[in-house]
Structure 1
Amino acid sequence: MDSRSIFSDLTSIGRAALTVQDLDRMVSFYCTIVGLSVLETSADTTTLGVGPEPLLVLIEDKSAQPRTPQQAGLFHIAFRYPTDVALGAALDRVQSEWNLDGAADHLVSEALYLTDPENNGLELYIDRPRGAWPYRANGTIKIGTVPLALDGLTQSSDGSQTAPTGTTIGHLHLAVSSIDRARGFYVDKLGMTPQTTMESALFVAFGGYHHHLGLNTWQNRAEPAGGCGLAWFEFVVDLNDGESLETVHEQCLTANLPVTTTGSYLELSDPDQIKIRVRTQKQSQ
């Protein structure tokens, strides 16, 4: 781990949480279309996941206002399936029960795009094998966009109605107000590595992944996050790498980042007031 960085290369994305207005409708959508299962529920919160692994927390707040076009926040949550069979089954569910907004081959992955009932963007995708990812001369990964033929995915489907073990949130894509400020936070302070840089977008990662976060200013958002939509997302710190919540807390303070300790996690905010939770987990080696 670089001593100047707050997070190590073994850091990953954990859960994401959405503030929603209609909990029942949103639970039904994520179970039916994405293939998640209900793991835990209360009067106003439902946790969804795959097997025992929680992935998405839905928090009902009927008084929450829809995010305005000027507010920063979620561009999309990207659920990564482990096989083309699973993505093919997801495509079947989308085409049968919902609407597909688009599809793309990103050279490193194959992706489907859609929008949930409360206008949150979603990506459903599979990674290509790492050995097939294209690299630039400087060692960064080339992420592109070319048309994706859906026939192969349709033919690979096994018709499953649920996401298989190994499904995760592979990345999130955030709408931010400034690429420079986002870079200063996620790259310069947190230690993420830029993989693809554009004038109005930046894709950053831990540990050589093609991207754990996408950051863009395509919609000219200038106001802080809030209201419905992304409530928070997690970075998961691997205890096998010698990190702990205490060391992350100390490194945040050293970097002059306000951080709050709440029970079993830390919480900090990016320059657009998008909330990030940090928890630890010992990954299998």
Structure 2
Amino acid sequence: MTIDLTRRTLLHLAGASSLSAAAIAAARAEGNTAGSGGPTFANRTPMRIGMVTLRVRDLDKVADYYRDAIGLTVMARSETGAQLGSGGVPLLNLQRRENAAREERNAAGLYHTAFLMPTRKDLGRWLVHAAKNRVPLSGFADHLVSESVYLDDPEGNGIEVYADRAPELWKWEAGTVAMATNQLDIDGLLALAGTQTTNYAKAPDGLRIGHMHLRVGDLERADRFYAGTIGFAPTRKRTGAAFLSSGRYHHHLGINVWQSAGAGPRDDAATGLAWFSLEIEAQQILEAQQQRLRQAGAAVEAIANGIETSDPWGTRVRLIKV
């Protein structure tokens, strides 16, 4: 299979006729109408994404998807749930909820889970795997700080698969990082991977969740919770969205109201995001978070190695000391 043919295959899977059309689709995925550092940077900051738990109706179908399409390893599986990860590190929990209602797109909740490849070459290898296995895609884009591909799992949970550029290439000005939604250099990615065969048997051991992107009902209220109380620092704001991080990563968390402005409390019985965890490097950070949460009147529950709380729409967040 030549590079050009693989490129056309990827465009077909993304439902696009050209790279510019695919960039427009990726822009919609990000709400934008206008050498790799990898997870070693994203996951050594004082606070970073740990695990994600989703409620799903068809456990087998969704678990198989993350195994086959993304390459996660099934670490545990039962009648009621499954745990998947990479390199022995658990990243995704799935909980069977056969009779659950589907969470609406305009509700608060998950926008996408972003799986961060260790290197740009790994992203290219995965693209070849996606093309050869006809994995449906929804768009691709170059965000300046990273290169990204978008898709959805069988129950509509958004996914981003991406690779970071080296942090020294990111451009910062007055605490704001430059990001955009440009055309992805598919040919350059594929040239790193080779297109004759796919050697992507599973996700690389260094794959991690680099960031979470959430739908919220109100940006200011979400910012007060995730920045003021949890302690993330803002890195970029734009119409209808904000991005936050720890340790000058471009973003560990995206929040937007593109579909969900005015959304009320989430339905705990519906499908979608049940909880995600933040790994906390220092005990004093966790203690300060707990104090701010109590001062804000948020419910706080003790769990193993940390605490659990909920954002204003009921998305549960676990703060775990590592």
Q: Calculate the TM-score normalised by the size of structure 1.
A: 0.90
Is the partner of 1:64 in helix, strand or coil? coil
The match for 1:58 is: 94
Q: After the TM superposition, which residues 130-279 of structure 1 pair with which residues of structure 2 at under 5 Å, given as runs?
A: 130-136=167-173, 138-157=174-193, 159-221=199-261, 222-226=263-267, 227-238=270-281, 241-243=282-284, 248-279=289-320
| CA distance in structure 2 between the partners assigned to 1:155 and 1:37 by the alignment | 27
1:122 to 159, 180, 183: 159
- Size of the aligned set, in residue pairs, is 271
What amino acid is aligned across from residue 248 of structure 2 in structure 1? G
Is 1:101 matched up with 2:141? no
On the 8 A contact 2:51/2:209 being kept in 1, the answer is yes
| CA distance in structure 2 between the partners assigned to 1:89 and 1:25 by the alignment | 24
- 1:151-171: CA deviation from partner (whole Å, max 9, x where unpaired): 122222262121111110000
Task: Give the unaligned 5+ runs of structure 2.
Answer: 1-44
The match for 2:4 is: none
| CA distance in structure 2 between the partners assigned to 1:256 and 1:74 by the alignment | 24
On the 8 A contact 1:32/1:93 being kept in 2, the answer is no
What amino acid is aligned across from residue 221 of structure 2 in structure 1? R
What amino acid is aligned across from residue 271 of structure 2 in structure 1? C
Relative to its length, the structure with more helix (as a share) is: 2
| CA distance in structure 1 between the partners assigned to 2:91 and 2:115 by the alignment | 9
Residue 100 (structure 1) shift: 1.4
The match for 1:48 is: 84
Supply the RMSD in Å over aligned alpha carbons. 1.8
| CA distance in structure 2 between the partners assigned to 1:186 and 1:244 by the alignment | 14
Residue 42 (structure 1) shift: 2.2
- 1:3-47: CA deviation from partner (whole Å, max 9, x where unpaired): xxxxxx601100001100111111111011111001112221110
Q: Calculate the TM-score normalised by the size of structure 2.
A: 0.80
Is the partner of 2:172 in helix, strand or coil? coil
Is the partner of 1:14 in helix, strand or coil? strand
The match for 2:127 is: 91
Task: Give the unaligned 5+ runs of structure 1.
Answer: 1-8
Residue 245 (structure 1) shift: 5.4
Residue 249 (structure 1) shift: 3.0
**Percent of paired sites with the same residue:** 38
